Each structure stands twice: as C-alpha cells, then as structure tokens.
Amino acid sequence: MREQLVRMAVEAMKKAYAPYSRYRVGAALLTKGGKIYTGCNIENAAYGPTNCAERTAFFKAVSEGERDFAAIAVVGGQEGTVNAFAAPCGVCRQVMREFCADDFEIHLWDGSEYRTCTLGELLPLSFSSANLSE
Ligand code: THU
C-alpha cells in the first residue's frame, strides 16, 4: 500500500500549480475505508493563499464526507524532481491533527528510499479538539 500511495502522490505532483516556487508537491491520502484522495500544491500570486498538497487532499476528502484516515504519502521536489524527503509543513500537520490520531502514518519518499513516520512523532504535545472539550 505504501508503494501505491507514493506512486499516486508522484502522479498528483504532476498537476501541481507552482509557478512561483517551482517546487512541486503531491499527496495521496488513504481513508480507513480504502479510498484514496490525491492533492497537489496550488500557489497564488499573493503567496498567502497558497494551498499545500496535503491540505488539498484532506479538503477534497473531508468535503466528500470522509472523516477517518489511515495514511498519507507525500512527495515533492524542485521542478518535480524528487531527491529529498518532503515532510509536511506545520500547518498541514495541524490540519492532520484535526482528523487523525497519533498512529496516522505519513509515508515519505526521496526518489530511492522510503521513510514512514506517525503524526504523533511529527506533532507531539499538540493542540486539538480535545483541548476545547475538557
Ligand atoms: N508545500 C506543500 O505543498 N506541502 C508542504 O508540506 C510544504 C510546502 C508547497 C507550498 C508551496 O507551493 C511550495 O511547496 C514551496 O513552499
């Protein structure tokens, strides 16, 4: 499954709209029900409205009614050349936190090696909906 998610993330990366940074990112998000939603980064001339690939995938899935997620694969590179791991930015980690538990898996690929981490590892001691319901 990890290899399939990474392959789909690489395909999604080809759709990136990144005329400013020229750094292309693709993501493939697996629901617990087995569906896969892909996403790419979508930049903006005003820079601030730029949306990362991971959030594109999450927002596509959540807007289709999905709430339970098992894993995401993320790949990225300048001009779409993958030669280093592209770990999710802090904002994307926080969006993952909204819907995912600590065991949510994040698969990275640097063009040759795979690396898998969990959300708990990437966002320890985080703020979440649990804080607001205490
Ligand atoms: N980017 C992502 O798509 N995901 C991340 O987690 C980090 C950064 C995008 C945003 C921007 O279009 C480009 O990469 C350079 O920051």
Ligand 1 mean position, distance from CA 52 (Å): 5
Assessment of whether the complete model's pTM goes beyond 0.85: yes
Average the pLDDT over 116-127 and give the result: 98
Q: Rounded to the nearest whole angstrom, what is the distance from the C-alpha of residue 53 to the centroid of ligand 1?
A: 7
pLDDT-derived band of residue 133, with 50, 70 and 90 as boundaries?
confident
Question: 78: which residues sit within 8 A by CB, 6+ positions away?
Answer: 22, 23, 24
